[in-house]
A and B are shown apart, each in its own frame.
Chain A
Amino acid sequence: MSKPSDLIQGTLDLLILKTISLEPRHGWAIAKRIEQVSNDVFQITQGALYPALHRLEQQGWIRGEWRTSETGREAKLYALTKAGRTQLEKELAQWERLSSAVALVIGMA
């Protein structure tokens, strides 16, 4: 299980933003989704996930709302806000720049 520090700070934010950009999800679903899509490379612990969610919410990029989930229990669903969508685009662009730069350097060597 990878520890949260294995994720570059900010990468988790990006993953969360991306994951809820299609539809609102609750914390459990977000973690599950990231694990699935990354073929279990990323294992998101609650200790990392919930502080990150609360931080993003405090910054106004995502908004949590209580809804009744498919299992009939009340769950807090997080959705992107308008500002969050802009932020996601910004972070995606930055990530692409960064990763292609890293790829270049690695390819050179």
Chain B
Amino acid sequence: MIIDYLILSIILFCIGILGVISRRNVFTVFMSIELMLNAANLAFIAFSRLHESMDGHVLAMMVMAVAAAEAALALAVVILLHKHKSKLDTNVFSLLKG
């Protein structure tokens, strides 16, 4: 059933949120965001199969493009921060704190 795919997508999204809010490692937080994007993609494809129209496939391709752009920029930022602080802790990166 299509609903099983949607439930799997909800479960994966919640695991991604759990990774973002409970981990302090920059890479793990970043990969959890990737996992959430993947869960959204799965929901798009499942709805596209449910209605037998291909708009969801196009949206999934755009999410992939956004994820690629995000990966390039986020990894560049992580490398810069690691050069400055040589740490991977998200609590260290609080430069904007007042």
A and B: real partners?
no
